Chains A and B, each alone.
Chain A
Amino acid sequence: MSRTGTKLDAKKVNSELFTLTYGSIVAQLLQDYENVEDVNKQLERMGYNIGIRLIEDFLARTGSGRCYDFKDTAEKIQSGFKIFLGITPSITNWSPAGDEFSLCFETNPLTEFVELPDNYSNLKYCNMLPGVLRGACEMVQMEIACWFVQDQLKNDNLTELRVKFVKRLEDAIPAGED
């Protein structure tokens, strides 16, 4: 996923390799933990740790400035999906206060080859994504909550990820930025 100077070009990485790797992580976690809830939590945590690093890559690559409105944030998250997963989710269902929106995926590269067995009906297969968003936003001093409301793996029409603005982390804003 690196730029100039390395042989790998972002666009040339086969998404299947990524999809399968993700699948093996989830499968391994299911083996390691007895409880599906724990797996969900673990995935979220792993995503968080990815997010706090990935945000630097996003900023370095896009040169985006700070968001002063949650609509900006939504668009930037959307472009982040484009950069890192090659998909453009649609932004819908804004709450009247403008502090909540949904990202809708018609296709989801993470679940391309996945069928969820019945006994794992509580598993949030893609729970790494909310973690990534939370981690990334936290690094730019914004606390958000993020969860799945619809999931194609659970026979919904599309996958819907809900994002809610919680607060600005005022204490963490670096000097010269506030």
Chain B
Amino acid sequence: MVIYGVYIVSKSGGLIFNHDHNVPKIEVEKSFNFPLNIKLNYENKKVVVAFGQKDGIHVGHVLTTANGIAVTGRELEDGRDILEMLEQPENFPITLKFSRAKMTTNEKIFLASMFYPLFAIASQLSPEPRSSGIEILEADTFRLYCYQTLTGIKFMIVAEPSQSGMEIFLKRVYDLYADYALKNPFYALEMPIRCELFETNLQTLLETVEKSGINNV
């Protein structure tokens, strides 16, 4: 029973709230000898494993540190280029740490605004008239549930495929939004929600659901 995250998208399609919940952190550190037996690529300002999956290091994982020194973009903290460094035998053996790529806030905003037209297209593609947009999007590792209110706000959660009762959960999040975001006089509509009360109550709700199931909320 895992809920990965909660997202709220405003009427105009902007991400106004996101909450990461319970995404297991994956980090693998391993020592390598020359020549490096995995293939690394530089893409999207990250050094990513392109091929050669082994020992818990998967394709798509991002290089975070080399010999304990943090890697940002393709540079080490001291300004050396990591990819050039890995081509020189004298730098070996070297300890590299890989982790699963984390979405930045910008990427989340980008994805949220991408879902918005997708939702609209779905309702137009429908063979039946007056269809809703996407309510459930299913993949083999997660399910995305979307609930659009009459006023046009979208509540989304990403959860494990086996997690049930998520429709009820979404309505409870709507309750919390109506209470703790909208009744906060210092919250401006359509703006990102930065209300601590909302977050703590959401956190409590998430914990209750995970501990004792959806029937107890």
The residues of A with any CB-CB pair to B shorter than 8 Å are 1-3, 5-6, 52-53, 55-57, 59-61, 63, 65-66, 139-140, 172, 174-178
Contacts and interface: CB of A to CB of B under 8 A. Distances in A.
Interface in B90-129: 119-120, 122-124
Contacts of A174: 11, 148, 151-152
22 contacts: A2-B179, A2-B183, A3-B175, A52-B189, A53-B189, A56-B149, A56-B151, A56-B174, A56-B178, A59-B149, A172-B152, A174-B11, A175-B123, A175-B124, A175-B133, A176-B119, A176-B120, A176-B122, A176-B132, A177-B132, A177-B150, A177-B152
Given A2-B179, A56-B178, A176-B123, A65 B150 contact: yes
Given A56-B149, A57-B178, A176-B119, 7 more contacts: A3-B179, A5-B204, A53-B183, A60-B178, A65-B150, A175-B123, A177-B148
A5 B133 contact: no
B150 A176 contact: no
B165 to A, nearest CB: 16
Contacts, number: 67
B2 interface: no
B182 A56 contact: yes
A140 B130 contact: no
B201 interface: yes
Interface in B139-170: 148-153
A5 B179 CA distance: 11
A53 B182 contact: yes
Contacts of B119: 175-176
B33 interface: no
A59 B175 CA distance: 9
Contacts of A55: 151
Contacts of A52: 189
